[in-house]
Amino acid sequence: MHVLKNLKSHSLMKSSRRNFLQHSLLGTAGLGLGIASTSDVHAAPVPSAAEPELTQEIDVLVVGGGTAGVIAAIQAGRAGAKTLLVERGAQLGGAMTTGGVAFPGLFDAWGKQIIAGIGWELVKESVELDKGPMPDFSKVPQHHWQNQVFINQFLYVILAEEKCEQAGVQIAYHEFPQTVTKTETGWQVECIGFGTKRRVNCKQIIDCTGGAEVVGMLGFPRLREKERQPGSYLYMMGEAHDPGRNQIHRLYVYGAESTNSRTVTHANLTGRKSILEALRKKKGARLMHMQPETGFRESYRIDGETLITVNDYRSGKKFDDAICYAFYPVDLHTKSGVKPEPLKPGIVPTVPLRALIPKGSKNIIVAGRCVSSDRLANSGLRVQASCMGMGQAAGAVAALAAKAGSTPLEIPLKEIHDLLRKHGAIIPGDV
Ligand SMILES: Cc1cc2nc3c(=O)[nH]c(=O)nc-3n(C[C@H](O)[C@H](O)[C@H](O)COP(=O)(O)OP(=O)(O)OC[C@H]3O[C@@H](n4cnc5c(N)ncnc54)[C@H](O)[C@@H]3O)c2cc1C
């Protein structure tokens, strides 16, 4: 009935529009201007406001196609789960590509590789295809950043898309969840994009939004500091950006916050304004490159089944449910800059599965910088290789839980470890 009404009013609109165009045509013809034809004028019927245009039944929904989300989705897909990856932006990679921080670390600690698997595969392939330099992990560098890897941010995006496609992962750009409702078998998620309303019925959600946005929508508690670490806007002034070879210029964006479209807009406007100021001060210099978005260091973290403290991190606590290693100095940026505090020789922190599970939740897991941790532990845990390790673990757990019709914490740890090893990951204790 409603549809009929819509169609009727639609054809009325169409005929009056056609009349208008015919009048215009006569008018313009009289003026000697030519318009070929109006026969291809169509307007799509407007769907009812509440109804989705697309409905999908899937196993695993990954929200956020950034550093962790790409790896989580590929792992879930490779493990046989029907996987959809929803990303609010226009490309994969998040902070690595859209933010421009194409310098992942650290895959090694104390002369050994400690994070491998899908993240490493993607990084290695992008360096090889780009003929870039590769650090030698058998050598302990003088400074931690010497073993970070320069990657070509543009190439990384395309390779990530290719690997998603090969793993059977469907990508939905320019979309984000609007509502998430619990169902008997998992979740019903209403996603919205421009011109798209997608209903997703899924068994498991992996929240890789950076700031645990889906966890927040569901009302699970999240942690956030009164004052966040500054973000940074990346650009190149005076010299060209040589992707995969050089570090990009950057300036701090104080108060940068990735939580919603208003705060992201504010950070981007502030960052770009500062670049303009810098350009005007640097007489004769040209702006050669600018990323599309601010890089955000910190927003919400989940309050998980376990919280990793800085003591756990600094002492390299081996959690009994560890699913990957992490390695980086404690690295807190403040108004006066940053002074990384390296870990003591031989220390390699681990990430427990329970730090990826929102306290009291079922059928949802997170990966990335929103891992349940105190602020100082998070300042080291948030780096890209560790986010990739967490992403792969979350993808494996979600795929197993979807298959078993259970929730992540019910999956035996051995099954998770076996699946991860099968896909090239390193489990704490393996090296
Ligand atoms: C300036 C800066 C310098 C850094 N330097 C380094 C470094 O040198 N080396 C290093 O290893 N790490 C570095 N880091 C840290 C590291 O880059 C990030 O912590 C890490 O990449 C975060 O990964 P993530 O997957 O959690 O989030 P992101 O990579 O930010 O991905 C989140 C994704 O989710 C999407 N998203 C968000 N909300 C929604 C939604 N509601 N719906 C759909 N999609 C959504 C975003 O668009 C994004 O693509 C740096 C970070 C910054 C900001």
Confirm or reject: Cβ of 144 under 6 Å from ligand 1: no
> What per-residue string of b and e applies to 289-314 under the rule 16 or more CB within 10 Å gives b?
bbbebbbbbbbbbbbbbbbbebebbb
**Residues 395 and 75 sit within 8 Å (Cβ to Cβ):** yes
Cβ of 104 less than 6 Å from ligand 1: yes
User: Is ligand 1 within 6 A of the CB of residue 89?
Assistant: yes
Phi first, then psi, for residue 63 (nearest 5°) are: -105, 120
Mutate to test the pocket of ligand 1, among 86, 97, 101 (most ligand atoms within 8 A of CB): 101
For 207-232, write each residue's pLDDT tens digit.
999 999 999 999 999 999 999 999 99
Burial 78-114 (b: 16+ CB within 10 A, else e): bbebbbbbbbbbebbbbbbbbbbbbbbbbbbbeeebb
Q: Please tell me the distance from the alpha carbon of residue 290 to that of residue 166, in angstroms, as a whole number.
A: 31
| 17 pLDDT more than 90 | no
| Domains, the chain, ordered by start | 1-51 (no CATH), 54-223+298-422 (3.50.50.60), 231-290 (no CATH)
Q: 158 in helix, strand or coil?
A: helix
- Write down the pTM of the prediction: 0.90
State if residue 148 touches ligand 1 by the CB under 6 angstroms criterion.
yes
178 SS3 class: strand
296 lines ligand 1 (CB under 6 A): yes
E-assigned strands of 31-182?
Answer: 54-57, 60-63, 83-87, 108-109, 112-113, 170-173, 175-182
Residues 6+ apart with CB under 8 A from 96: 66, 67, 102, 104, 151, 153, 156, 384
Of 74, 208, 209, which is best to mutate to test ligand 1, by the most ligand atoms within 8 angstroms of its C-beta? 209
- pLDDT tens by residue, 50-88: 678 899 999 999 999 999 999 999 999 999 999 999 999
- Band of residue 41 on the pLDDT scale cut at 50, 70, 90: low
Question: What is the rounded distance in angstroms from the CA atom of residue 177 to the CA atom of residue 88?
Answer: 9
Indicate whether 335 pLDDT > 90.
no
Half-sphere exposure of 349 (CA within 13 A, CB side): 31
pLDDT tens-digit readout, 81-127: 999 999 999 999 999 999 999 999 999 999 999 999 999 999 999 99
Handedness of CA 50, 53, 59, 62 (dihedral sign): negative
15 falls in which pLDDT band (50, 70, 90)?
very low
Please state whether beta strands 364-366 and 204-207 pair in parallel, antiparallel, or not at all (unpaired). Answer: parallel
Position in ligand 1 atom list of the atom nearest CA 214: 41
Write down how long the chain is.
Answer: 431
How many Cα atoms within 13 Å fall on the side-chain side of residue 340? 12
* 234 CA: nearest ligand 1 atom: 1
Report whether residue 307 contacts ligand 1, using a CB cutoff of 6 Å: no
Average pLDDT value for residue range 279-283: 94
Q: Does the CB atom of residue 215 touch ligand 1 within 6 A?
A: no
b or e along 155-170 (b: 16 or more beta carbons within 10 Å of the residue's beta carbon)?
bbbebbbebbeebebe
